[in-house]
Structure 1
Amino acid sequence: MKKIFTLLVIACTATAVNAQQNPAPAPAQVAVTDQKAAVPETLVLKETEFNFGKIPQGKPVTHVFEISNSGTDSLRIVNVQASCGCTTPEWERDKPIAPGKTAKITVGYNAMAEGPFTKPVTITYNGSEVKQLFIKGEVWKTPTSSAPENKSLSDLKN
């Protein structure tokens, strides 16, 4: 019993001495900063997505997105790129947006393909800054022929 007690005391003492000599390292306090988070957004979108709902096939539709400059310097839109040829963005290409002012981007969609759609449009501004907006909806197939004549309607007229 003395041997067990002695071994236990030695083990506890060794552990205590080792713990005092090698303290656990304090967690490093690393300040992680995201430069984009620190810089306020200059291009502000009034809305980032527009849903056209159900639109008939073959009927092009458009929507106007409003953007504003919340910065202290002029903002220049470098490019507005659609994801495919069925979506066409239009904007004033050579006109910078003054601080506090607004501008418009008109996005058109050629509703030729039947079914639901979601199309991203990428705005590149102030050199390399990027924002995305989306248009979506569903194109329903239009009938290929007119409705058949309703004979009971002519009975009602008599």
Structure 2
Amino acid sequence: MRNIAGILILILAVSCSPGKKRQDKTSDQSVADKQTTIVFDTDVYDFGTLKAGEMVVCTFTFTNTGTADYRIENIETECGCIEVQFPQEAVKPGQKGNVEVEFDSSGMVGREYKTIEIHGNSKELKHLAIFAQVENDLLKIKY
């Protein structure tokens, strides 16, 4: 008798799962409906030649070319030498927004290449890149 009751409870528990999965698909669909597209004027910036220790800033401008508001959720950088400022409010379709990047060249030498990954509700993940040739009198690289 206990075995039959255990089996019935197990069947009941398993049979309730599909409703939850359908609900998740619906919420995934609503997120997809709110995705938009953005286009950056340029996605690469070259600071040229810098002296080690210089802090420089560049601005990347983008346009929301989609039909939904664009919101940046977070931005990932590959090192602590980069600070990023971005709009906290949504950028409406047809409007422009800016991502300001500050690069600190302290302790660096040679050709530096850094990437910035932008996570938002755009259909594609966006990447930006900065370059600099850093001269450092304290560190020398032999080629």
Unaligned runs of 5+ in 2: 1-35, 139-143
- 1:103 maps to which of 82, 97, 101: 97
CA–CA distance in structure 1, aligned partners of residues 75 and 40 of structure 2: 14
Change (3 A) 1:127 1:104: closer
Q: TM-score, normalised by structure 2?
A: 0.67
Give, as a single letter, the amino acid of the residue that structure 2 aligns with 1:72: T
CA–CA distance in structure 1, aligned partners of residues 83 and 133 of structure 2: 17
Higher relative contact order (Cα pairs below 8 Å, separated by 6+ residues): 2
CA–CA distance in structure 2, aligned partners of residues 121 and 136 of structure 1: 12
Larger Rg: 1 or 2? 1
Q: How does 1:1-158 map to 2 (within 5 A)?
A: 42-93=37-88, 95-112=89-106, 113-126=108-121, 129-142=124-137
Post-superposition offset of 1:142: 4.7
Q: SS in structure 1 opposite 2:93?
A: coil
The number of equivalent residue pairs is 103
Unaligned runs of 5+ in 1: 1-40, 144-158
The answer to whether the Cα contact below 8 Å between 1:83 and 1:120 also exists between their aligned partners in 2 is yes
Percent identity of paired positions between Structure 1 and Structure 2: 27
Query: Runs of at least 4 residues of structure 1 off by over 3 A?
Result: none
